[in-house]
């Protein structure tokens, strides 16, 4: 998928959720398409203020949370790095292995929700996330990374 298609996909999610598509919101989508890794709210704010110096941190943070709720962004909480976001993969259902050293993320197809669950009462699941945190192969091989 081209970068332009990825930006369009995020913008389409915004529009479906009733957002007016502004240049600032288009820029926000472009930031996540250009960056494959995780971005903290401060990282996004710093990039947004290049073109929009008057944008507030609160506005950026609020938009990130709403985009995450809409499914355009995935959010993860790193013990050392706090809350971070990245563009969602909407092409298929998968989960993530996340390296706590370098934040490299690997997709894997196993889903615990595919197995019969004994849930209490009439609990109805509407969404789920499954992330496994560990140390990737490269970081395990690098003695400097584990210190």
Per-residue confidence (pLDDT) for residue 120, from 0 to 100: 86
- Does 89 show up as a binding residue in the annotation? no
Give residue 95's pLDDT band: very low, low, confident or very high (50, 70, 90).
Answer: confident
Q: How far apart are the two ends of the chain, measured CA to CA in Å?
A: 38
- Does 136 show up as a binding residue in the annotation? yes
- Does 93 show up as a binding residue in the annotation? yes
Give residue 90's pLDDT band: very low, low, confident or very high (50, 70, 90).
Answer: low
* CA dist list (Å): 74 to 22, 35, 87, 96, 115: 22, 13, 6, 11, 24
Q: Kindly report the pTM of this predicted structure.
A: 0.72
For the chain, which domains are there?
3-87 (1.10.10.10), 95-141 (3.30.1490.190)
- Residues 35-87: tens digit of each pLDDT: 877 899 999 999 999 999 999 999 999 999 999 988 889 888 877 778 888 88
| Alpha-carbon gap, residue 49 to 34, rounded angstroms | 16
Q: In this structure, what token pair is assigned to residue 81?
A: 């790095």
If one compares 80 and 15, the residue with the highest pLDDT of the two is 15
- Does 139 show up as a binding residue in the annotation? yes
């Amino acid at each position: 998928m081209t970068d332009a298609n990825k930006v369009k996909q995020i913008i389409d999610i915004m529009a479906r959720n009733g957002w007016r598509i502004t240049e600032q919101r288009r820029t926000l989508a472009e930031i996540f398409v250009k960056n494959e890794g995780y971005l903290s709210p401060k990282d996004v704010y710093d990039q947004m203020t290049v073109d929009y110096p008057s944008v507030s941190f609160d506005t950026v943070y609020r938009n990130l949370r709403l985009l995450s709720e809409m499914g355009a962004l995935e959010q993860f909480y790193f013990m050392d790095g706090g809350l971070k976001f990245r563009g969602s993969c909407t092409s298929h259902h998968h989960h993530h292995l996340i390296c706590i050293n370098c934040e490299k993320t690997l997709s894997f197809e196993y889903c615990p929700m595919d197995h019969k669950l004994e849930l209490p009462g009439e609990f109805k699941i509407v969404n789920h996330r499954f992330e496994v945190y560990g140390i990737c192969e490269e970081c395990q091989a690098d003695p400097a990374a584990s210190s």
